[in-house]
Amino acid sequence: MGGFQYLLLFAWLLQKNLAVAVVPLLASSNICKFNPTQTTIALEKPYCFYVSPNAVTVYLYVVMNNATNLTLDQTNTLTSTEGGSKAPYVAAMFSNPNCMDTPTISQIYDFSQVQTTLNKYVVRVGNDENCFNVNPCNKALKSNVAYRFIYVFYNSTPAIVFQSEWSPPIYTKQGKDSGSIDTWPGRRSGGMIVLTSILSVLTFFVLAGLVAAIITSIMAPSTNTETRRHETRTSHTVPQKTDEVAEYATASSISERYSSNLQA
Ligand SMILES: *[C@@H]1O[C@H](CO)[C@@H](O)[C@H](O)[C@H]1NC(C)=O
Ligand SMILES: *[C@@H]1O[C@H](CO)[C@@H](O)[C@H](O)[C@H]1NC(C)=O
């Protein structure tokens, strides 16, 4: 009897664990090309981890993998935990993302929407340069260090209503490769692609213009005869014009004569 109960309990726990096995995950490489960097780790926001009609705030805790104390304390900061080496600290707080509004794969792939999707879909640990008097402080992580993350959901009391599992350890990049510091997609890669295409198109037009100019200068003799013909034509029209002016002049002298008649 007892054994059967334990088996049931085990089955129930297994099912519960499978249903609840939600962990913070690295953001998709479609959206964050350089992730992690030396000082940042971008995570997917916890969509549909916990669905509730009430207002729920998500706290993202960060801890170094070698820390032994995993007590969750809302007041822990980066400074008080020595960068997460003593205990987990709160790196970010945001309202529980709306499960009905999960970004779609097409949105994640859509380059024009990347910045909007990023802020909606991604939380970036280590994003803040300056944390003076800012709480929670989300300052740069240390390079080549393994960190672990957990999402904890608080109601307005605030009391914990749900929490994810701890993430597996995720390493920041090793220092040296300066190209990987703070490269945020959408800013650099996209801009550079657009700029490069514009420049190559412009180069093509400049070259085409150069070729056209060379061809015209080779064909120069034929254009010379054309201008001579044009010159002769204009020289013909000049006497015509003077005739017209003369006619007009005589006409005006007639009207002058009339007016002088009237005055007399
Ligand atoms: C954990 O790792 C960090 C970074 O390498 C180091 O500064 C700290 O001393 C380590 N803490 C322990 C308890 O080993
Ligand atoms: C673990 O961390 C919590 C919160 O930072 C602290 O209150 C507690 O004393 C720590 N426990 C140990 C054994 O250091």
Q: Which pLDDT tens digit goes with each residue over 237-250?
A: 444 544 544 444 44
pLDDT of residue 41: 96
Look up residue 235 and give its two tokens: 């020289």
Torsion region of 48: left, alpha or beta (phi above 0 gives left; psi -120 to 50 gives alpha):
left
Higher pLDDT, 205 or 250: 205
Nearest atom within ligand 2 for CA of residue 73: 4
Q: Which pLDDT tens digit goes with each residue over 128-182?
A: 888 777 778 899 999 999 999 999 999 999 999 999 999 999 999 998 655 545 5
DSSP conformation letters of 138-182: -BPPPTT-EEEEEEEEE-SS--EEEE-PPPPPEEPPPTT-GGGTT
pLDDT of residue 248: 46
Top mutation candidate among 61, 69, 82 for ligand 2, by most atoms within 8 Å of CB: 69
Q: Which residues contact 161 (CB under 8 A, 6 or more apart)?
A: 50, 52, 56, 153, 154, 155
Nearest atom within ligand 1 for CA of residue 144: 5
pTM for this entry = 0.62
Q: Which pLDDT tens digit goes with each residue over 4-61?
A: 555 555 555 445 444 546 999 999 887 788 899 999 999 999 999 999 999 999 999 9
Domain span(s) for CATH 2.60.40.10 in the chain? 3-175
**Amino acid at residue number 256:** E
Our CA dihedral for 90, 96, 101, 103, rounded to 10 degrees, sits at 10
> Which ligand is closest in space to the CA of residue 84?
1
Taking the alpha carbons at both ends of the chain, their separation in whole angstroms is 145
pLDDT of residue 155: 95
| Element housing 42 (H / E) | strand 41-44
pLDDT of residue 92: 94
pLDDT of residue 254: 44
Average pLDDT over residues 62-83: 95
Angle at 228 between CA 222 and CA 230, to 5 degrees: 105
Q: How far is CA 13 from the centre of its chain?
A: 42
Residue 184 pLDDT > 80, yes or no? no
CA–CA gap between residue 154 and residue 72 (Å, rounded):
12
**How does residue 107 score in pLDDT terms, banded at 50, 70 and 90?**
confident
> Which ligand is closest in space to the CA of residue 73?
2
Residue 262 pLDDT > 60, yes or no? no
**Amino acid at residue number 80:** S
- What sign for the dihedral angle of Cα 52, 77, 28, 113? positive
Cβ(64) – ligand 1 distance below 6 Å: yes
Higher pLDDT, 126 or 192: 126
Nearest atom within ligand 1 for CA of residue 66: 1
Cβ(145) – ligand 1 distance below 6 Å: yes
Measuring CA to CA, how many Å separate 3 from each of 6, 8, 9, 47, 202?
5, 9, 10, 38, 79
Look up residue 62 and give its two tokens: 């960060």
**How does residue 201 score in pLDDT terms, banded at 50, 70 and 90?**
confident
CA–CA gap between residue 212 and residue 246 (Å, rounded):
47
Q: Where are the alpha helices (DSSP H) in 21-174?
A: 105-109, 114-121
Higher pLDDT, 188 or 45: 45
**Amino acid at residue number 264:** A
**How does residue 236 score in pLDDT terms, banded at 50, 70 and 90?**
very low
Average pLDDT, rounded, for the chain: 77
> Which ligand is closest in space to the CA of residue 69?
2
Yes or no: say if 70 and 85 are a contact pair by the CB < 8 Å rule.
Answer: no
Residue 74 pLDDT > 90, yes or no? yes
Residue 75 pLDDT > 50, yes or no? yes
* CATH code for the part of the protein at 3-175: 2.60.40.10
Q: Which residues contact 108 (CB under 8 A, 6 or more apart)?
A: 28, 30, 31, 117, 121
Q: Whose CA is nearest to atom 8 of ligand 1?
A: 85
